[in-house]
Structure 1
Amino acid sequence: MKAIALTQKLPLDHPDCFVELDLPDPVPGPYDLLVRVKAVAVNPVDYKQRQARKEDETAPRILGWDAAGIVEAVGSDVKHFRRGDQVYYAGDVTRPGCNAELQLVDERLVAKKPASLDFAAAAALPLTAITAWECFFERLELSAGDLKEGKGKNLLIIGGAGGVGSIGIQLATALTGFTVIATASRPETVEWCRRMGAHRVIDHSVDWTEELEKRGIATVDAIACFADTSGHWANMAKAIVPQGKITAIVESPTVPDIGLMKPKSVTFSWEFMFTRSMFQTPDMIAQHDLLKEVATLVDAGRIFSTMKEHGGTLTPASLAAAHRDLEAGKMIGKRVFDTAW
């Protein structure tokens, strides 16, 4: 199979940072699907995994954890799929990624793609939809589909224009009764958050607690932080309601002062959507189930793809450019590529 991989640790501007290789076709294990990848998207986990490569590593590493494609073969114990199914998934960060012609992925992490979307638009959704869903309906313990639960309450989404924020705004407005307040700092990101369905948008480049106060909002009932956890920590402690809940997805370079949360008895939780696959938890099938729900919502017209930019065909050069833009922190929504293999 063809694949775009890392073979050594090189800077992004080096022409061999990513290289195209011919590698053996993978063979499915008992619960695996062998997927012919048709489209992929990029996420911050991609560049973090690239940066983490050690200088002395020699084995090729295939990145990429957002894909849509067609099932080519199935393992002996696969129950939910068959050859020819069109699927979408994020997969497992401990296994080779989707920047390849073929990929193995555990069926419990996969769902049939939304029928109303092409492969590119579908590939924009899985990783971020799983992350946002788990943040809201597992970490914050909101009730999916209960439009009465959040009536008169506020959910703050920090980093509303990124990949997770984009689908998070949609899921929160479609499946909860909360007033969704998103943060953004540029005219184009403010407009994007509004397009995603945010009820209000505030500026996170200034003291956003003051932005809330200007709108008569003293506290918020729940916070999903999809941006700089440590940078927003003090303001989150100030803005959260007593006995409220906060979840975050961005690792902190320093240990936040958890004591700031004690006076209000705040519940804080991390979200990492690869936890289930990394540790082979008994409930891995939950990601299959939630991706099915997301596909149903898309096909019903209640949410839509967060693909902001189609980057053309996946090549070593186009992949390096996407990593560069992700690292700069200026990407809105998702950038997606078709595969040409």
Structure 2
Amino acid sequence: MKAIGFKKSLPIAEQESFIEFELDKPVPGDRDLLVRIKAISVNPVDFKVRQNSAKENVLAEPKIIGWDAAGIVESVGKSVTLFKPGDEVYYAGDLTRPGSNAEYQLVDERIVGRKPLKLNDAEAAAMPLTTLTAWEVLFDRFRIDDRDKGKSVLVLGGAGGVGSIAIQLAKKIAGLHVIATASRPETEEWCRQMGADVVVNHHHLIEDLGKAGYKEIDFIIDLVDINSYWDTVVQLIKPQGHIASITGSAAPVALNKLKNKSVTFSWELMYTRSMYQTDDMIEQHNILNKVADLLDNGTIVHTLNTTFNGFTVDNLKEAHRLQESGKSIGKTVIVF
């Protein structure tokens, strides 16, 4: 099978930042699906892993990355019960296993969902990673329920992949009042299309929120850089509120600043369930199926914005360039 990977962490402009090669088609393990991939999505995690996986040494074998795909089940492991050959699926995969930048991929059935019927392959491939991340923030970390309807949520980085679906889930499913940050006319408009009630400029966030009538926010989702915003979110978060971040931090986060307000802080990593084979790993299967229903009935919409046709080294490089620029809006997909 054809695959695209890398043996050395190189700038994307370098000729061998990605290389095409051939591999044997993998054989499913006990609970694995072998999926013939039809489309993949490229996310910021892709270029971060590419930039950091082989900085010092050249890898003996090329590393295959990619964590979003839509495709068709070709064969299944002996203990698989959720899917059968011929089923159309979508999923975000497992950070610890070979990724989706290949014609075929093995993935545990417990983190796979049925492909939404009304979405094409590209639209479906755009959704899993960002949707799982946003869903887990809202319903696993914040534990939002009916008592929270009407409360406020601030989405830092509203026009990105996670922000685009977080706005929709927060508005349509959680019933929250959604404020999103954006700084360009096109990103402001995108956030409004996704359903944001208010869009503010992150360059003067507190000032803009004050003009819009907000002194405190119940929930804050950081999708940009938690330490860059830390003092601002500490000021904005409501007493007994909740902050969640997906961005990580090389420096310690000053959690002591939250003490007087009794604020909760959570990290979110979508790969936790698959990485640690948690007891509730199958929840990602359940979430993806719920979201497929929401996409099929029109409650939420896909977030695909940029499509490259053809699974080639050049297209993968272009998709990575776009992600590295920080200017992408919504999701970027490559159709095989």
Matched with 1:70 is: 72
User: Does the 8 A contact of 1:8 with 1:58 survive in 2?
Assistant: no
Matches of 2:45 and 2:98, distance apart in 1: 13
Equivalent position of 1:23 in the other structure: 23
SS in 2 for 1:205: helix
Equivalences for residues 236-251 of structure 1 within 5 A = 236-251=233-248
Q: d(CA) in 1 for partners of 2:260 and 2:324?
A: 36
Q: Give the corresponding residue for 2:41.
A: 41
Question: 1:62 offset after TM fit, Å?
Answer: 0.5
Counterpart AA for 2:88: Q
Measured after TM superposition, the shift of residue 325 of structure 1 is 1.7
The answer for the alignment partner of 2:6 in structure 1 is 6
Shift of 1:7: 2.3
- Cα deviation per residue 1:35-73 (whole Å; 9 max; x = unaligned)? 000000000110111011223222211110000000000
Which string of whole-angstrom CA distances, capped at 9 and with x for unpartnered residues, describes residues 143-201 of structure 1? Answer: 2xx3x6322x2111110000000011111111122111111111000000000000110
Distance 2:288 2:102 in 1: 22
**Shift of residue 216, structure 1, vs aligned partner:** 1.5
Could you say which residue in structure 1 is the equivalent of 2:285?
288
Aligned to 1:227: 224
Aligned to 2:184: 186
Q: Where do 1:155-234 residues align within 5 Å?
A: 155-206=153-204, 208-234=205-231
Report what 1:82 is aligned to.
Answer: 84
After TM superposition, list the pairs within 5 Å mapping 1:45-124 onto structure 2: 45-54=45-54, 55-56=56-57, 57-124=59-126
Amino acid at match of 2:139: F
Deviation at 1:12, TM superposition (A): 1.1
- Residue 96 of structure 1 aligns with an amino acid whose one-letter code is P
Contact 2:10 2:51 in 1 (8 A): no
Deviation at 1:108, TM superposition (A): 0.2
Q: Report how far residue 312 of structure 1 moved.
A: 1.8
| 2:267 equivalent in structure 1 | 270
83-92 vs 320-329, which deviates more? 320-329
**SS of residue matched to 1:157:** strand
Counterpart of 1:237, as a letter, is V
Q: Which runs of 4+ in 1 moved over 4 A?
A: none
* 1:330 to partner: Cα distance: 0.8
DSSP 3-state at the match of 1:233 = helix
* Identical positions, percent: 52
SS in 1 for 2:308: strand
Give yes or no for contact 2:113–2:285 (8 Å, CA) kept in 1. Answer: yes
TM-score, with structure 1 as normaliser: 0.96
Report if the CA contact (8 A) 2:46-2:65 is conserved. Answer: yes
Letter in structure 2 aligned against 1:194: R
Aligned partner (choices 120, 136, 139) of residue 137 of structure 1: 139
Q: Distance in 1 between matches of 2:213 and 2:169?
A: 25
- TM-score, normalising length from structure 2? 0.97
> Quick one: distance in 2 between partners of 1:204 and 1:169?
16
TM-fit CA distance, 1:8: 2.5
Residue 337 of structure 1 is matched in structure 2 by: 334
Gaps of 5+ in 2: none
- Asked if the contact 1:31/1:75 (under 8 Å) is kept, the reply is yes
User: Which residues of structure 1 form unaligned runs of 5+?
Assistant: none
2:325 paired with 1:318: no
Code of the aligned partner of 1:150: K
Q: Is the 8 A contact 1:163 1:306 kept in 2?
A: yes
